Chains A and B, each alone.
Chain A
Amino acid sequence: MGVGCVAMPLNSLPFLLLAVCAVFVVPVARGWLRTTIFLAINLTFVVSYWGLGGLPVGLTFCLAGFLCARLVRGRSTAALVVSVVILTAMFIYLRGYAGGGASAPTRLSAAGIFAIAGLSFLFFKMLHVVVDASSGTIERLTLGRYLNYCLNFTTVLMGPIQRYQDFAAQWDGETPDAPRFENYVDAANRTLRGFVKAFIFAPTLAPYILRPGMPIEQMGGLELLAAIYAFYIFLYFDFSGYCDIVIGIGILMGLRPPENFRFPFLARDVSSYWLRVHRSLTTWLTDYVFTPFYRYALGSTAMGRFQFLALSASLLLTMIIAGVWHGTAWHFAMFGLVHGVALVVVRVYEHVMTRRMGKAGFRRFTERPAVTAAAVFLTYNFTSLAYLFFVLDVHESVRVMERLAVTAGLAP
Chain B
Amino acid sequence: MSSRYRVALKLTWMAILIVVLILFTRVRHDFVYQGF
Q: Which residues of A contact B (CB under 8 A)?
A: 1, 9, 11, 104-107, 115, 117-121, 157-159, 181-182, 185-186, 188-189, 192-193, 195-196, 198-200, 202-204, 206, 234-235, 238-239, 242, 325-327
Chain B positions 1-36 with a Cβ under 8 Å from a chain A Cβ = 3, 6-7, 10-11, 13-14, 17-18, 20-21, 24-36
Residue of B nearest to A278 (CB): B33
Residue of B nearest to A327 (CB): B36
Distance between Cα atoms of A121 and B6 in the complex (Å)? 38
List, sorted by A's number, 14 A–B pairs whose CB atoms are closer than 8 Å: A105-B33, A106-B34, A107-B35, A117-B35, A157-B34, A182-B6, A185-B10, A189-B13, A189-B14, A195-B17, A196-B17, A200-B24, A200-B26, A204-B26
B31–A196 CB distance below 8 A: no
B18–A242 CB distance below 8 A: no
Classify the interface of chain A: helix, strand, loop or mixed. helix
Interface centre among B17, B28, B34 (most CB of A within 10 A): B34
Residue of A nearest to B17 (CB): A192
A192-B17, A192-B18 known; A199-B34 Cβ under 8 A: no
B31–A192 CB distance below 8 A: no
A185-B7, A188-B14, A189-B13 known; A326-B36 Cβ under 8 A: yes
Q: How many A-B residue pairs have CB under 8 A?
A: 89
> How close is A86's CB to chain B, nearest CB, in angstroms?
21
A158–B29 CB distance below 8 A: no
Distance between Cα atoms of A238 and B34 in the complex (Å)? 10
A186–B10 CB distance below 8 A: yes
Distance between Cα atoms of A202 and B24 in the complex (Å)? 12
A192-B14, A239-B31, A242-B31 known; A199-B36 Cβ under 8 A: no
Chain A contacts for B18, CB-based, 8 A: 192
Distance between Cα atoms of A324 and B35 in the complex (Å)? 14
Distance between Cα atoms of A1 and B18 in the complex (Å)? 30
Distance between Cα atoms of A158 and B26 in the complex (Å)? 20
Q: A121-B36, A158-B34, A327-B36 are in contact. List 9 more A-B contacts (CB 8 A).
A: A118-B34, A182-B7, A188-B14, A196-B17, A198-B29, A199-B29, A200-B21, A203-B26, A238-B32
Residue of B nearest to A198 (CB): B29
Distance between Cα atoms of A119 and B20 in the complex (Å)? 34
Pick the contact of B27 from A11, A104, A242, A326 — CB < 8 Å? A11
Distance between Cα atoms of A158 and B35 in the complex (Å)? 8
